[in-house]
Amino acid sequence: MTELIVENVQKWLGGLQILKGASLKGERGSIVALLGASGSGKTTLLRCIAGLEQPEIGYIKIGDKIALDSQKGIQLPPEQRNIGLVFQSYALWPHRTVKENVGYGLKLRGVNKADMDRRIQSILDRLGLGHLGDRYPSQLSGGQQQRVAICRALVYEPRVLLLDEPLSNLDAKLREEARYWIRKLILELEICAILVTHDQTEALAAADHILLLQNGRIVQDGTPHDIYTNPTSFYAADFLGANNIARGKVLSVHGDQAVIGGDGWQLNGAVRDPSGLVPGADAQAVIRVEQIRVANEPGTNRIEMDLDDSLYLGDRWEYRLRRGDFTLKAHGGQRLPSTRVYADIAPQDVWVFPVQAA
C-alpha cells in the first residue's frame, strides 16, 4: 500500500533552484533511499516531505492526507503530517531523561499519562532500551542515543519515517549492525521509511528502492540490484561500486558495442549511453574493480600491463596495474608471481559513456 506520494517537487533557495521536479512513491513496509553526491538535494527533498521547507511547486500525500498541493495552496505544518523524523545529530535534549526525550512530543499533543507511559515503555523495550529510561543522553553510548532518537520518532506511530543520515555518527561496526536492525524494524512495523544517505553501501544494503539524485533531479530510480548492475549514466555508474575509469577515444561503434582505446591499449565495450559516441569522439568507460581478472597470458580483450604494486587488504590483494598513463585496480586472492600481467575484462563489463561537455 502506498503511504507516500511526492510529485514534481520544486524548491528554490537563495535564488537557486535546488529541486528541479522530484517525484517518488513510498510503500508500507519498505525503505526508499535518497542517494547522491553532496549538494545533490537529498536533505532538501526530505525536509520538503517533512514540511520543514516549503516547495514553491509540487504535490505531497502522506497516508490519506494531502500535505502539499501548490495549486490549491495546501501546505500542512510538520506536526500535522504524520511523520517521524530522525536527524544525523539525534537532536536529543541533554537535560531530559530518555523517557522524557521520547515522550515529549506526546505530552505536547495532550496524550494522557497512562497511555503515554505505556507507549514510551513499549517502544523502548522494542529497541532494547527498556532498562535505560531514566538515564540522560550523556550516560548513553552513541549507538544507544541513536536508538533513542528512533524511538522518539516512532512513538507517534507515524505513517512515514524520515531518516537523515541516521548512521553517519556511528563507527563502522555499529553502522553495519544498525543497517540490519533498522531495516528489520521497518519491515516488522510495516511503515514506510525514506533514508537519506551519501553512503552507497548503506543504500544498497538497507533499501528496497534507491533514487539517485544529481543536481536536484532524480537521474535513476530502481532496486539496489538494478542501480548497481544497470546504470544508465556515467554519474550513476561511477557513483556506485569501486571503479576504474578508462578514458580514451571511440575507435568504432557497432550497435550497442564500441571499441575504445588510448595510448597502447584498446578495449571492446558495451555502449551504455550512445549520445555523441562516434568514431574519434572522447569516451570514458567505467569498469567495476571486481570485473577485472588478472591473467598470465594474452587473450581477447586483455591488456598487457605492468604490476606496479600489490597491496595486502587482509581478505584479498589489490593489484595496481599500469601501462603508460593507463592505470587499473584489480583484486585477487594471492600475491602475483610476475610483474608482467594481462588485465582480462569481458566486453559487457566495460561500460562505455560519452564525455559530457562541462
- The correct pick among 18, 22, 86, 111 for binding ligand ATP (CB under 6 A) is 18
Q: Which is nearer to ligand ATP, 50 or 343 (CB)?
A: 50
Q: Is 200 a binder of ligand ATP (CB under 6 A)?
A: no
Total site size for ligand ATP, rule CB under 6 A: 13
Dihedral sign from CA coordinates of 195, 197, 202, 204: positive
Cell (9 digits) for 17: 533552484
State which of residues 30, 44, 101, 243 lies at the interface with ligand ATP (CB under 6 A).
Answer: 44
**How far apart are alpha carbons 257 and 273 in whole angstroms?**
11
Options 14, 94, 255, 333; binder of ligand ATP; rule CB under 6 A: 14
Grid coordinates belonging to 10: 520544486
Nearest approach, Cβ of 41 to ligand ATP (angstroms)?
Answer: 4
Rule CB under 6 A: is residue 58 a binding residue for ligand ATP?
no
Residue with Cβ nearer ligand ATP (196 or 341): 196
By CB under 6 A, name the one of 6, 26, 31, 36 that touches ligand ATP. 36
Q: Considering the complex, state which of residue 4 and residue 19 has its C-beta at the smaller distance from ligand ATP.
A: 19
Residue closer to ligand ATP (CB basis): 43 or 146: 43
Interface residue with ligand ATP among 6, 26, 35, 43 (CB under 6 A) is: 43
Q: Give Cα separations from 318 to 51, 321, 332 (angstroms).
A: 46, 10, 7
Q: How far is CA 136 from the centre of its chain?
A: 32
Which of these segments, 35-43, 55-63, 143-151, 252-260, binds ligand ATP (CB under 6 A)?
A: 35-43
**What is the number of residues in the chain?**
358
Residue 18 or 250 having the CB closest to ligand ATP: 18
Exposed/middle/buried for residue 325 (C-beta within 10 Å: 0-12, 13-18, 19+): exposed
Distance (Å, whole) CA 33 – CA 70:
25
CB burial of residue 51 (10 Å; 0-12, 13-18, 19+): buried
Mark the segment that binds ligand ATP (CB under 6 A) among 32-40, 201-209, 273-281, 284-292.
32-40
Report the residue number, 40 or 146, with the smaller CB distance to ligand ATP.
40
The cell for 197 is 544517505
Contact status: 40 vs ligand ATP (CB under 6 A):
yes
For residues 24 and 46, what is the distance between their CA atoms, to the nearest angstrom?
Answer: 11
Q: Which is nearer to ligand ATP, 213 or 253 (CB)?
A: 213
How far lies 111's CA from each of 18, 51, 93, 145, in Å?
38, 23, 20, 24
Q: Which residues contact 278 (CB under 8 A, 6 or more apart)?
A: 250, 253
When asked if residue 42 is in the footprint of ligand ATP (CB under 6 A), the reply is yes
Question: Taking contact as CB under 6 A, which single stretch among the options 14-22, 137-145, 182-190, 251-259 is the one that binds ligand ATP?
Answer: 14-22
Residue 203 C-alpha cell reads as 543504500
How far, in Å, CA of 328 to CA of 343, rounded?
A: 8
Residue 120: CB minimum distance to ligand ATP, A: 31
Positions that interact with ligand ATP (CB under 6 A): 13-14, 16, 18, 36, 38-44, 198
